[in-house]
Each structure stands twice: as structure tokens, then as C-alpha cells.
Structure 1
Amino acid sequence: MNILMIDSQRVNYVDPGEYVPGSEHRRYSLEVTSRPSDEQLARADGIIAFHSVVIDAPLVARMHRCRALVKATIGLDDVDVEALSAKGILCANIGSVGVEEVAEHAMALILFAQRRLFDYARHTRQGGWSWRAHAGEVKACADTVLGLIGYGATGQAVARRAAALGYQVCFYDPRVDHCVEGIAQGRTLDSLLATADVLSLHLPLTPDTAHLMNDARFSRMKHGATLVNTARGGIVDTEALLRALQSGVVSMALLDVVQEEPAPPRALIEHERVLLTPHAAFYSERSLAQLKANALETLLGLLQGKTVKTVVNPDCLSGEAKGYA
């Protein structure tokens, strides 16, 4: 049984020599490459693809023996599931790996913005030493409305952390009626936009959510609110965000993801009220190890005919990853 791991060309997930021939791999052969050849794709029985590897129809056409493909991410927005299904190739993701890390990263960005650390750091670098040297209000957590768009595993993990700090937590998610823990209140999207001091995104990128945050939605936000995105870059229209920053509708944007990855526009990089991190929210030593282990375990399960909960095309019919995570 031949397994092919397609690593990201952008930032390698697999360390050199991590998967080498040996006793632990006696059940299968395993190759790792960031530039798969026709021969490698043709002989692979199963494929694992990491983040930023686009699984499109031309790539799928080169898979002649493949029976299963696992995307080692939560989202499948860059996978042509229909092309895989047409060739009878099962497709799965790895479920909610890195949820706690993403929630921690989001909370760090939220607190960074709320405590006006942008302004204070700039002020002290310039030789100042005044706690009044900030723009806008500095609110206590208890006086801050945190709005979460998407209330799946990650949104709920953020809510638990925020509630412990005293935030007024609200959420919008068409798939979730209410918060069973009682720590967050459900709202309509318009109500959430109008009342949130901080808006944090935790939903997948689908045709329905692409550019969800556009000019119209930004215009409905509470003036001076903060935007945090640790979900998918394509949910936010970058040009619309820059206009919202220019008008003051958005006071700060703290983004772990942008639609132009890995080369954000200079207007974002250099904006004094924008903080960018390089799609790092998922990462810890533990989560990276779990991500790779889950991907391999999921693929082996598919190839062995086991039931895998994260399969999106169990009948090899066209389908798409849905749900908020």
C-alpha cells in the first residue's frame, strides 16, 4: 500500500527524515514531497495533503490508483470534492485539531486590541510614558461585548475563555439555536454586527461565507469596533476592510488569515491599525503532532474500510464540507 504525503511548499509541516522506512511503516510505504510527480501520484493508494496544497481537477486526474485522500486541515475550501467523487476517491478532513490553540490565539488578539497595546507599544517606543496615550476607549472585559460569528468547536472554545474573563459574549450561527452552557447569547447577524465591540470570526469558507464581511456588512458594524479573524481569509473582503479602517468603522483589524496568503497587500502589512500573524493560530508542538497523527490514522482507516466520521463524500457523490468549526 503506497501512501503519498504532499507537504506545503510554503511552510513544511513534515520535518526532514520524519517519515523514514522502518518497522513502524511495515504495513505501507510512505513518501513525502512538496512537488508530486506524475509517477508518485499515479502509484499512490492514499494521499495526505497539507495546508495550501490545492486539490483541483487537474491534480485529481493524475491520481490513477488513489482510493482515499485526507486534507490535513479542518477546511476543504481548496479541495475539488466533485472531482474526487467522480473518480471514486473518498475525501475526509481531520476534524477539530488545534481548536484550543486557535481559541487561545484569538483571545490573545482580542486582549491585545482591547488593552490598546498597539498604541501603548508605539508610545513607549517613541520615548513616552503615559497611560493616557491611546486612541478610543479602554474598556474592562465586563463592559465589552464580544461577538462571535460561527459557534462551532472553536467559537465555543473562545466563548468559554471569554466568559471566564467576564466578557458579554454573543454569537451568530444559523446552525446553533442556543448555547447549552449559558455563557453566550444567540443573536441575528445584524444585531451582532450592531452591538459587538469586538467581532471574531469562526466559520468555514464556503460559497455562502465568501466575502461575508463586505462593504454592506462593515457598514452595519458598531462604529469603532475591532475585527479578529482566525478562520479563513476569504471570509473578509480585503478592499472593503481597508475602506472600513479608513472610515473608522473598524478601529483595528487583527488577522491570522487573509485572502491573499502568503503575500498580503502592502496596505495591510503597513497599516498602523492592522496586526497580522502568518496563519499560525492552529500551531503548538502538541497540535502539529496531533494533526499529522490524525491525518495518517484517518487515511489508514479509509483504506482499511473503517468508518471515518469526517468523510465528506461517503457515497462518492458530490458534496462539500459544511458546519462551523
Structure 2
Amino acid sequence: MSVHPRTRTHTRTRTSALLATAAALVVALTACGSPAGGMPGMSHNSGAAEAHDNHDNPDNHGGNSSHENHSDRSNPGTAGGLASEEGGYRLDAAAGTLPAGTATDFRFTVSGPDGKPVTAFALEQTKLLHFYAIRADLTGFQHLHPELAADGTWTAPLAALAPGGWRVYASFTPDSGPGRGTPLVLSRTVTVPGDAAAATATATATATATVAPTTTVDGYTVTVEGVPNAGTAGELRATVSKDGRPVSDLQPYLESYAHLTAFHAGDQAFAHLHPEAAAKDGAGTGGPTLSFHAELPAAGDWRLYLQFQTAGTLHTAAVDVRVTD
């Protein structure tokens, strides 16, 4: 089984750190009375993520973001893409607050060890940088490919955001400097003002899956099987069907037949997985079953976002899985 380089790098370097906190996370989930139906909305965990937001939200320090995020700076190896700075590279946002209910541009830079904005990035799955946004309750997922200006400023066109705490991630590989060729995932938190409790209630009421490995989106049914134990490499299989029939016309999307991103409940730790079989030369079709190398490092609930394309349309399916020790 082949392993995508980014998955291997982040998993191996961060497994020990996440395992050290896994027990505490499980206790926290249990103490909050997380039932088998506790994943949608995950209000029992969103408080922890919101509390973490206060440490690295630029608005909470009332000044230039280059002087903030002290907690992340003191722990540059924070696991799962939860640090804003690692290896001398830093994610700086132009704003720590975004408007609710309307599309908005989010501007940011990635600075290098020399303190200057990085402008040279290596292609990763046909893109220079992958940008993600997720709400503290793991709803509202967005995966974008922002534009890079000559001065090193990225602009990500975000769709409307619901009120609450959000985390944004930049996944990239520098193509110059001391970190050249090293895949990195950096993140920051942002706040969207408004009634976060109401937004959570709405997300919970409209959720169709409850810690369930099966969901339906745009008429397609997606089922995930084979979730491994925490920190143990294994195979995860995603099957796509429609009207009870297997779907075998998945089109290439970012050099593969599906793109899989996972977020850990409570701390929003990030994991990036890829199918075992890549789409060759951007041609052909795939499905109905895709195999992934899976090594989710921490126990607890994970929300997986599977993106796949058919007939030129991109679909995003959210499934929930529970990883045990």
C-alpha cells in the first residue's frame, strides 16, 4: 500500500504528541456525557476549541498578529496542524474576525525563517497551497485553493460563515529556503460574531449522521469501513453508490479519485489522507471503492470529509467515525 508523503510526514512526527493527549481527550468526551449520538454539532467539545481560540486570535491581543499566538510559538511542534508557527514558518492573518452570513475574502501570508513572506511554493496535488476552514463543532467545512499575489499575500474566497469560533489551515510545501521540500500544515483561529449557540443548534438539527460511517449527499451514498485503532496504520475503505448501484465513474480530482480530510473532535487536529490508487495523467474513472492508508493518531470522534467528482460536479460527504485505543 502506498502512503502519501504528507500523511507519512505528519503522522510519524506527531503521533507521540497526540497519543500523550488521547487519554485526556477520551476522558473529556466521557465526562461531557457524549452519547453514541454526540458527534453532530459536538457542542460538548466546542468549548475546548473556543477556549484555545483565545490564545491565538489576533483580536484578543489588540495588535499586529506578528506579536501574537504566544502559546503556539512556545509549542512549535503542536500536533495535527494546530500551531500557527513551525520550523520557522508562520501563518499570519490580516484579520481575526470575519463577518457572519456573507461571503468574504480571507487574506494571509506565510512568512519564512527570515521573517519575509514566502513566495515560492511546490505544487502539491496540482496546487501551491490547500486552504481549509472548519467551525469549532466541525461543521461548515471549506476546502479552497487561494490565489497568491506577488508580495506573498494569499486570498481565500470564503463562502458565508456561521457565527462561532473557526479554525483555518494552510497546507503547503516551501520551494525555497531552509524548509524547502518539507510539507507543513499551519493554522489560526478566527471569530465570526453572532449567536453561536443558535448556529450549533441548527447544525445539530440538520445533521443526518450520528457517529455513523454512512451518509448521503447529492443523491450519492458514501460508506466508510475499516477505521483503525489510534496510532495504528491500517486500511480505510470508502464506497460510493447511487440508487443502490455502485458508482464507477468518479472523475480525477486533485490527481486522485477522492480527497479525504479528517478533523478530531475537541481540538480540531487535522489529518490528510489520500487514496491508495492515484488518478493517472488526469484521465480515466474510478470507484466504487477507494482504499486509503489510515493512521489517525488519537482516540475519539473524527469527522471525515470525502470530496469526489462526477460529471464535472464536486461533491462533499461528511461521515463520522470513532477511533479507539
Q: Which is higher, the Rg of structure 1 or of structure 2?
A: 1
User: Do they fold alike, i.e. is TM over 0.5?
Assistant: no
* TM-score bracket relative to the smaller structure: under 0.3
